[in-house]
Amino acid sequence: MEHKRVIQLLTRKLAGEATQKEIEELNQLMTLFPEALYYEETLKQIAFKNELPEEVDIDQAFNLHEHRYGHEFEDYKEHQPGPQKSFIKRWLIAASFLITCGFASYYLIHNNLLRRKNDVSYNPTTEIVCGKRMRKKIILPDGTSVWLNTNSKIQYDDAMLYQDHRDVRLYGEAFFDVARDKKHPFVIHTQKVTIKVLGTAFNVKAYPGDHVTETTLIRGLIELSLNNDPQQRILLRPKEKLALREDISPKHMDESDNAQIHNKMVIENIEPIEISNKDYFEETSWVQNKLVFKDESFKELAPRLEKWYNVTFQINNKAAEDYRFTGILENETVTQALSEMQIIRPFKFKITANDKVIIN
């Protein structure tokens, strides 16, 4: 009986719930049974492991939260008189500015070709990494806006303005709104291609490991060259997308020991997707935090959803693979998105540990 009572009182004491009277009673029992000290000391030491695989990064968590729900509270940001301009508004202002400065680019690109030869190496001093499930906007020292997509990083030199070129290196996907500066061409280095620009807006998708490198131009004019064949240059015009596909041919086809990598280039016009009377470009809608898809099969869509939500899909239901979906995802969570898709087509889903989405 005393054992029970000691443990009961100890429990309350350790939880900070014991009354003064109970503390006194416990102290008295402890003098009678000094062994009880062992219980107290051991129980006091018990702390539980933090189960979360990684510590919560508050800034990152708040950024994500703003991505999801920012429209509900960002108008209340203080120290900014009046409600803030919406993202779209700011976007349009940037766009109109860019259109006006796009004209001189052709001439300047010719200048560029002459300058190419002194393409010196550069030493990036800053690296910005966008983790999984993050998308962020950064402003480079020269005023260029960069929207960095999930799982991507960009490197640049803080003193880029004092050099001949404004060099940046990109791993992953980014949308650029390049600040105009005639004297200092803006050069983006990726694993496979190098892109020179003067003042324009475009999207580059060059994830290491992906076999396709895509460049989509929205405004202005850019010149693109292949890293393994710098002589070959391509001029890209607005609404054109260049996809560089890597084909690895079988060994025996060639005399050399190395498997040959052939670059296959495809230039195509991008077509706006019309959803609810609005035009969207699939390639760049992520900048506005939207995932747009039109008449895509579940099978094609799954890898995009995987990247968007940082989950993995397992589609067990063969019929579901061929379901076709059209839509825009904005603030939806993965559960909400799938629930909405369930309304269109019948399937079952389950989200298990390790963020695996199983479609049945």
Partner 1 sequence: MPENLSDLTDIINAIAIDDSYVAYKKLFGLLFPSIKRFAYSLLKSPQLAEEVASDVMITLWRKRKAIPSVSNIKAYSFTIAKNLSLNILKNSSGGKIISLDDISINLQIDNTTPEWILINDELRKSLNDAINELPTQCKIIFKLVKQDGLSYKDVAEILDVSVKTVDAQLVIANRRLSVSIRKEFNLAPIKKN
Interacting residues toward partner 1 by CB under 8 A: 1-4, 6-8, 10-12, 15-17, 29, 32-33, 35-36, 38-39, 42-43, 45-54, 56, 58, 61-62, 64-65, 68-69, 72-74, 76-78, 133, 309-311, 333-335, 339, 348-355
Q: Report the distance separating Cα 204 and Cα 287, nearest Å.
A: 12
Q: Report the distance separating Cα 112 and Cα 110, nearest Å.
A: 5
**Residues 304 and 293: beta-carbon distance below 8 Å:** yes
Q: Report the distance separating Cα 291 and Cα 288, nearest Å.
A: 9
Kindly state the tokens that stand for 115: 């300058």
Q: Report the distance separating Cα 244 and Cα 232, nearest Å.
A: 13
**Residues whose CB is less than 8 angstroms from the CB of residue 124 and which lie 6 or more positions away in sequence, other chains included:** 155, 156, 157, 167, 168, 169
Burial of 73 (0-12, 13-18, 19+ CB in 10 A): exposed
Q: How far apart are the first and last CA of the chain?
A: 55
Strands 186-189 and 166-177: parallel
* Short-list 259, 345, 334, CA closest to 295: 345
